Structure 1
Amino acid sequence: MNKEEFMKYLPVDAYGIMSTVREDGMPEARCIEFQFEEDGKFYFATASNKEVYRQLVNHPQTAYTYMEPSGKFTVRITGVMKFVAAEDKEERRRIWDRLDEIVHKIHKTVDSPTLVLMYMDECTCKLAHGLGTPKSVEM
């Protein structure tokens, strides 16, 4: 399976579960909205005052899982979270323009001091149909 086929299973603005590592070494999972994929990078947005941000700064290894609501398939992505620097105004604007309207409503502007733009890189992607064995995807 190639990237284009894989991306048909991961809708833009899909809500899935992001897993991180807490300060005590235990896993933590929460719902987060996938924004978009570009060049093998999976983009997300959060706020700097959230625990997920602090956890990703300390332990950037993360996993994201999206399950089709009726359970027909599951998408799994593991990788390293990287952050778009606040000083990189051009890149932030480019990403902002592609973000979901919910993010725009929360943060109001790309210059919001709490807006964190981030992407999973160095990813391994897998797709499983039902309870079947996951298949790796060439990204």
Structure 2
Amino acid sequence: MPAPSITIQTTAPATKSETWHFYTEAEHVINWNFAGKGWHCPKAVNDLRVGGEFEIVMAEKSGTMKMELEGTYTQIEPHSHIEYTLENGRHVRVDFAEADGGTEVSVTFDPAEKMDNDEQRKHWQAILDNFRKYVGQVEA
């Protein structure tokens, strides 16, 4: 029996339209899609359409480790909803909703089987927190 999905969220200090732009365009993704200070995102390719694919590379700045994330979009409602399937079959859903002070971004994902759920939540939340910080810096 698969583990229940995990949901993380943050509020980005921007409009839904701006938040969508920062979340989906590769030129912005490379600036926030990594979990910690010792990491970066050297590559992001994004074909944002149903059936389109994406590739994101997160790597340690020291060059000792990297992680590639690839998937295919299955549902897109501009400025409000994205769903995709990762290459390993896991499902991810991202929702954007107006909130006090900006836009709430909620990410729900199927956890990987061989990793502790709390660790996965922590890493995905760290990436989403980087996103919120990046939006705040761009908007400042």
Q: Same fold (TM over 0.5)?
A: no
Which TM-score bucket, shorter chain as reference? under 0.3
Instruction: Name whichever structure is richer in helix by fraction.
Output: 2
TM-score (norm: length of structure 1): 0.27
TM-score (norm: length of structure 2): 0.26
Structure showing greater relative contact order (alpha-carbon pairs closer than 8 Å, 6 or more residues apart): 2
